[in-house]
């Protein structure tokens, strides 16, 4: 009988101990975890990101076939899909809802376009699909900074063009006016006649005309404007007739 009572008491004690251990808080085991019995857990930031090659991306068969600067300073790109020879174009910031492709950025000088579909961001180079690149997270951030800087430069260029258009057209001032213009034309006419070139429709003043006659450039004329022929030359002309 005593043995039965002892066994019953032992079972009751075990059940009580098990019940107490079942409700122990997790913090009781923190001291074990702090000792890191399984080693230091890996740092997620140190795990290299897997970046798929462009041949496995959504843009595997896409070729950047053109970049055009619009009047407002924005850029539009043309893209050809070699799978079915289809064609589509996007402006920076625009998304093709049917394809799910967005144009994040375009670089006119480098002839590059940055496309995004889902979690993939791909840079395509003009006319060469194999030269494309799928960007990592860090590269995406760097490209975004570069794109913002370029957009600012585009905006500045657009502003500059608008200011140029608003400027009044300045008519160049003439070099000579009034008496100076008349004097210049007279002198230029004399030089033209001296060189035997077709004269300008400018009437020389009597004193300038006389100067050319004295130089032997022009023949003398009478009061009515007829050429004066020397008597000897007139007689020779008479006998010839």
Are residues 78 and 155 both part of a single domain? yes
- Render pLDDT for 210-237 as a digit per residue (tens, 0 to 9): 888 888 888 887 665 556 655 554 444 4
Number of domains the chain is built from: 3
Does 230 reside within a domain?
no
Are residues 122 and 190 both part of a single domain? no
Are residues 65 and 161 both part of a single domain? yes
Are residues 158 and 196 both part of a single domain? no
Does 61 reside within a domain?
yes
Task: Give residue 116's pLDDT band: very low, low, confident or very high (50, 70, 90).
Answer: very high
Distance from the first to the final alpha carbon of the chain? 182
Does 40 reside within a domain?
no
- Residue ranges of E strands in the chain: 62-69, 75-81, 86-91, 95-96, 101-107, 112-117, 120-125, 128-134
Ranking 99-103, 171-175, 185-189 by mean pLDDT, the lowest is 171-175
Question: How far from 223 is each of 96, 99, 165, 206, 210, CA to CA, in Å?
Answer: 89, 93, 59, 11, 13
Q: Please compute Rg for the chain using Cα positions.
A: 48
Please state, in angstroms and rounded to a whole number, the distance separating the CA atoms of residues 5 and 20. 23
Are residues 133 and 183 both part of a single domain? no
- Render pLDDT for 75-110 as a digit per residue (tens, 0 to 9): 899 999 888 889 899 998 899 999 999 999 998 888
Q: Are 87 and 78 a contacting pair, CB within 8 Å?
A: yes
Are residues 131 and 113 both part of a single domain? yes
Are residues 20 and 63 both part of a single domain? no
Q: Give the bridge partners for 107, in sequence order.
A: 112
Are residues 58 and 155 both part of a single domain? yes
Are residues 188 and 102 both part of a single domain? no
> Of 118, 142, 165, which residue is a domain's last?
165
Does 122 reside within a domain?
yes
Task: Give residue 67's pLDDT band: very low, low, confident or very high (50, 70, 90).
Answer: very high
Please state, in angstroms and rounded to a whole number, the distance separating the CA atoms of residues 61 and 54. 9
| Structural domain boundaries enclosing 101 | 54-165
Are residues 101 and 149 both part of a single domain? yes
Are residues 195 and 214 both part of a single domain? yes
């Amino acid at each position: 009988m005593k043995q039965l009572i002892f066994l019953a008491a032992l079972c009751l004690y075990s059940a009580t101990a098990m019940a107490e251990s079942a409700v122990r808080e997790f913090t009781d085991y923190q001291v074990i975890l702090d000792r890191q019995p399984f080693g230091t857990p890996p740092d997620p930031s140190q795990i290299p990101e897997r970046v798929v090659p462009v041949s496995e991306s959504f843009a595997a068969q896409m070729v950047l076939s053109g970049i055009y600067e619009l009047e407002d300073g924005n850029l539009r790109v043309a893209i050809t899909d070699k799978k079915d020879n289809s064609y589509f174009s996007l402006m920076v910031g625009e998304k093709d809802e049917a394809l799910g492709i967005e144009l994040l950025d375009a670089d006119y000088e480098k002839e590059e376009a940055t496309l995004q579909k889902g979690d993939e961001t791909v840079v395509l180079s003009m006319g060469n699909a194999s030269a494309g690149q799928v960007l990592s997270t860090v590269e995406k951030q760097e490209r975004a900074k570069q794109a913002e800087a370029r957009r600012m430069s585009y905006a500045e260029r657009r502003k500059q063009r608008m200011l140029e258009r608003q400027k009044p057209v300045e008519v160049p001032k003439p070099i000579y006016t009034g008496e100076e213009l008349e004097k210049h034309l007279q002198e230029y006419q004399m030089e033209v006649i001296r060189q035997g070139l077709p004269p300008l429709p400018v009437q020389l003043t009597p004193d300038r005309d006389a100067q050319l006659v004295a130089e032997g450039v022009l023949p003398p004329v009478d009061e009515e404007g007829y050429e004066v022929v020397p008597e000897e030359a007139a007689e020779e002309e008479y006998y010839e007739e």
